[in-house]
Every structure is written in C-alpha cells, then in structure tokens.
Structure 1
C-alpha cells in the first residue's frame, strides 16, 4: 500500500504480538485486492509492513500478558495509546480496525467511535471463556465484529453487537495435509526419528517462564527415549537468550534451535509441547497432538482463574468442548509432567489417529474465504 492519491480510502489498524501481525497481514491482502490505492497505518509488525503497512509503532509494544506484567508497562502503553488517539482524531481514517489486543483496542475504539470514526474489531475477545463483562464495552466501542469462530455472532447478537463469522485465516493458509517429510528436510531433521517441537510462546514474559521448563522436559524425554529429536523455533530477537538457557541447562541432546519457522516445526513434529494461546490452534490445524502448558506470575494467575468461565484454557479443547489434549497450568506445569504427557502421545498411535480426525473436522469448520468476507463487511461499514 504505497502513498495513496487524494480521496483514496485510509484504514488505521492496531495489531499486537506475532499472532496479531499475522492475522492483520492476511486482512491487508484482502484490502489490497479490493482497494488497491488504499492506505493503511498504525501499530503493526513485519508481516503487515511486507503488505505496505506504515507502522508508527511496533506490534511488540503490546506483547504483554498477565495483569502484573501489564502494570509494569502500563504508563508506556497508555502514553502510546494517547498519542495514537490524537493522531487518528486529527487524521480521521475512513475505518479503524483493531486486530485482537482487546485491552488496548477497545478503549481506543470507544473514543474513536464517539468521534464518528467507524470501528471494526477483528477477533472477538474470549467473552465466552472469561471476562463476560466485556460485552458491554464491546457494544459501546465496536460498530462490527469480525468473528473467527462460528458460535460467536449469535452470542454477540444477544448483547446487541453486529457481528459476522469470517472463518479463521489460519485455516486457509495451513494445508489440510501438511507434508511432514518435506518440513523435516527443510529443518535438517532425520526423517526416521521422532520429533518433538518445543514452542514456549511469543511474548517475552511467557518465554521467560516456560523455556527453562520446556528444556528440562526435553532432557527428561531424551533420557527415557534417547533417539528423540527436538526443534525449538525462536523469535529471532530472542534466539541468543534461548541459546543461553540451553547452555545453562547443560545442553539438550538432539535439540535444533531455529530462527522463526514455527509452521515448519509444527509440520515436522510428531508431538508438540506448546504454550497456551493462538499457537495451539495452529498445532490443531497441522493435525499434531500436543501438550499445552502455561505458567505466569502468581498474582496474575489468581486474577485470571477467578474470571474463567470454562474448564479449558487451550483453544482446541474450548472449540471441541472437552479435554482432547492435556493442559498443565501453573503448579502442574512441571518438567516431569510435561515430559510424561509428550511421551504418552508418542506411544499411542491409535489415540493420535482419533485426534487427527477431530482436528480435520475442526479445520473444515474454520475454513472460509476470510479476507473476502472481511472486506465485504468493511464495504458495508463504509457505505453506512
């Protein structure tokens, strides 16, 4: 999206974290296809910038999870939001699109909507899982919600929020039958030996909590099954930090650290040990068995636990309505428990086959022309 001529549409966007950058980049492809001269700007990451997005601030600004962790960065985040609000109120984009990051975006959208700027939010906050009180704020702040799960529009309609199910973009980009052997070749892994993928998250705080546990779990697995291979796709900027952790743990035999390439790691693996979050849905779409783990600041966990509405945290379990994959949270997130749960998948091929059938059904449910459906909604919002 290069410089737009006078009168061309302008879209302001805010996307936080790696997952938001990925989702917003797919949406930008749809905007480009429908409005080639449009301009897009705001907060985003490298994938958005590759689509011509003008990033005023980096998406890493919003890569914070947990109440205590957010408090540590609160003043800086609020200062950026205030600057962004003033800039957008002066520039008046045709539409503001908030991509996930609800704690940042909903307050901003309330103020922009009150000033007459149409607001669209992409990815409904998980009000069906926790913090149901957000429905009131969503109604005040969002003109239209783009939903990635099929049950969400009906829930939002009851709260007076206009919403459209557009499918999950990842269901279009991830193949129905991933090529495990090609991915192993890409990563330099032995095609014949089992592979465990270690994905400790994308936020610095969760990586700090989970990476040492994941490495210790890998050591436990290696001692019990010496032929295992491990692959850990790291955010490039954090690769030196993770290398230091590996050294501090005394090394992990059979471990390959790679910069990025999380999808290749998921395609290549037989099982993954993974942080709770969007990546668990990616693993499900790759049809891979998984062990979900999470550990955070104690106070943040106590607050979140009180607001939880469902017994599951992992997206595959939430979407299937049962514990189809194990979850190990907080005090249960020990290296020994994680290791045994991963090894259990490797020793149960019939259980893996049944899980893959469930994940294929889930993939078909989420597969829609997301970019086109989203821009159809934006066109209607613009017409209003």
Structure 2
C-alpha cells in the first residue's frame, strides 16, 4: 500500500507537484508516494512508475499519434493504483489523461483530488460534468476558479499558485546576469516550450526573430533555457548558419527570466512564470492547422496567454498561428526594448498579480490532503 498516488503531466506538473509533496513530507516524513513523475517529484521521493514526459503531448493531431501508448499507460497505472490502494490520489494537470483515470479510481473508492483546473472558463465548459464524476476535491490556483466549482457542487479549495511562492517578489537581476555571464547590453530570453513538439515549432521562429532584434541592438544577448537534452539538440539544429550571441542553457529558465529585459514565450505556464519575474513578453504559439481550427471553434476568450487572461486585457502582445512570424515577434520585442516607461508599467501590474497569487500553496495543498492521509 502507498499513501499517495500521483500523476503529473509534463515538466510544469512535475514542478508544481514537487512543491506540495515537500510540504506534505514535513508532517509525514515517511510518506510513500508513487505514480507518473518527473525528475523534480522523484527528488522528493516519489517513485516513478512511468516518467512524466510520456504525457507531454498536446493538440488533437499529436494526441492521435500517441493515443495507443497513452491508453496503455493509463490502463496499467490505473490497475497499479487499484492494487496498491493509495489513501488519496492527486492528478496534477493533464486533464484529458487524469479525469478518466480519476473516475476509475473514484469508482473504486479511492479519493481523488485534482490540482490545477483545466481552463473551462476559456474553452469546453461542458467538461464540468465530467469533472464532477471524476473528482472528490478540486484544488484551484486562480481565485476566480473557486466560484465555478462551488456553483457546480464540486468541493473546491483555492490554494494560490506554487510558482508565486517559489519566485521572489524582487528577482535578483544582477545576480542572474552574473551567473549566466550576460552582463552588458539588453538580454532577450527565448522560451520555445518544454515539449519537443513545441520546440520544433517555435525554436527557429524565435531564433529568426532574435536575429532581427540583434540587427537593431548589436549588443543584445540571447538566452534559451532548454528543458531537456533532446530539446537542446533541436535548438542546435535550428540555430545552424545563424550568427547570433546565443547561450543555450540546460534548464535554468528562472535564471534566464530573472536576467532578461524581454522574453519571447510559447503560451503555457512559462508565460505566468515570466509575469512573476515582472518581465515584458511576447506570447506566441503554433499548432497544426487542424488543431488550431478545432480549438478556435471552442474558444470562449480572446486571449490565450495567462497574463492576459488574468488581467482581462492584452497587457502583452500575442502572436498566434499566421501572426506568429519572425518580423511580428521582433517588432513586438523591439517595442518593449525601446520603451522603458512601458516596461516599468507592466512590471508594476505583474507585481500586483504576483501578490494576489502568493498564498503558501504547498501548505494549503498539504492541509487539503491531510484528512485523507489521516483516515484509517
């Protein structure tokens, strides 16, 4: 028997999960946990039955290619949990994978907690009915989400966002630049995404935009944190024949964001991280045409980036699909670099956002899980 079952989808879920497992272990140092986990969760003592990167697939078209393997993994991990009978299961993000698994476990009398609500407020609101069947308790990271679940009759707790706790209110810009060796002119961070499919779609786009920025700012320097060795290899392929003062980092996304003046960021959790580091950004994203068509039909909001969604305005530019061109990204980045007053204004907005999300999420999640762990 294990105490905690967990499934974390991709790098962001792995990072989020590590925060609350560390908090849980303060009260339960002998906590036994296992499931689908990445390196950060493994560091906390979670046994990885499968690695998180097995779930790092997005978009309708991409999922179809990997569907047989995903279904096989979900079936196997479900049987594992039903056999080991964890006191509580926590699904971290990865809603399409986790909700089906959670429904199976809940039907087997295993309490299911889901951490990080899918964006039902942005698209596919009908998912709330599926969530009610699958989830014993929902933990949400944004304050406006709490009422959505309460009104639907689903037990819910607003816990704040773990990244808002982990990232300092005042980033050490000078220290990060010294550590990365990028003192001097403006620094531009390039964050093409953590999934390999994202890196394939965005790396060359961002590098071409960086080349245009460099033409205007010859003293500019560029940093690109690669989420894995495979991602770094894709970046190296994309940068061939480009003369650009670029440092490809092994991870270190937070150092890159602390050091930069502006960032080009693929839509996702990294946009929130960039905002928490109080940095102006240009949000971009590309998916296959069919995926884009299907997602646009179901969209409820005009924004895709979390900073814009949370502020309910285009506080930073978004360049998606056909608009995601090197020239557009470069023009937006240069507009930020050319306007210090605008950069300071958006930093102030992001500081207020940071303070609203800073709630000691690890402790709050641990408190929400405590009744399940204490149950006989």
TM-score range with shorter-chain normalisation? over 0.9
Q: Secondary structure at the match of 1:324?
A: coil
Displacement of 1:383: 5.9
Find the partner of 1:218 among 204, 210, 219.
Answer: 210
Structure 1 distance, partners of 2:252, 2:26, is 27
Structure 2 distance, partners of 1:142, 1:253, is 49
Q: Secondary structure at the match of 1:189?
A: coil
Q: Secondary structure at the match of 1:230?
A: strand
Mapped pair 1:353 → 2:337: no
Describe the superposition over 1:257-308 as per-residue Cα deviations: whole angstroms up to 9, x where unpaired.
1111000000000000000000000000000000000001110111111111
Residue 114 (structure 2) aligns with: 121
Q: Is the 8 Å Cα contact of residues 190 and 206 (structure 2) preserved in structure 1?
A: yes
Q: Is the 8 Å Cα contact of residues 202 and 286 (structure 2) preserved in structure 1?
A: yes
Mapped pair 1:267 → 2:258: yes
Structure 2, unmatched stretches of 5+, are: none
Find the partner of 1:332 among 323, 331, 340.
Answer: 323
Q: Would the alpha carbon gap of residues 232 and 37 (structure 1) be closer, same or farther in structure 2, given more than 3 Å must change?
A: same
Displacement of 1:131: 1.1
Q: Tell me how large the CA RMSD over aligned residues is.
A: 1.1
Residue 280 (structure 2) aligns with: 289
Displacement of 1:382: 4.7
Deviates more, 1:282-291 or 1:218-227: 218-227
Displacement of 1:236: 3.0
Q: Is the 8 Å Cα contact of residues 153 and 162 (structure 1) preserved in structure 2?
A: no
Displacement of 1:226: 1.3
Describe the superposition over 1:150-182 as per-residue Cα deviations: whole angstroms up to 9, x where unpaired.
111111111111100001000111000101111
Q: Secondary structure at the match of 2:244?
A: coil
Q: Is the 8 Å Cα contact of residues 215 and 252 (structure 1) preserved in structure 2?
A: no
Q: Is the 8 Å Cα contact of residues 315 and 346 (structure 2) preserved in structure 1?
A: yes
What's the TM-score, normalizing by structure 1? 0.96
Deviates more, 1:252-261 or 1:87-96: 252-261
Residue 308 (structure 2) aligns with: 317
Find the partner of 2:294 among 300, 303, 322.
Answer: 303
Structure 2 distance, partners of 1:236, 1:29, is 23
Q: Is the 8 Å Cα contact of residues 25 and 47 (structure 1) preserved in structure 2?
A: yes
Displacement of 1:38: 1.4
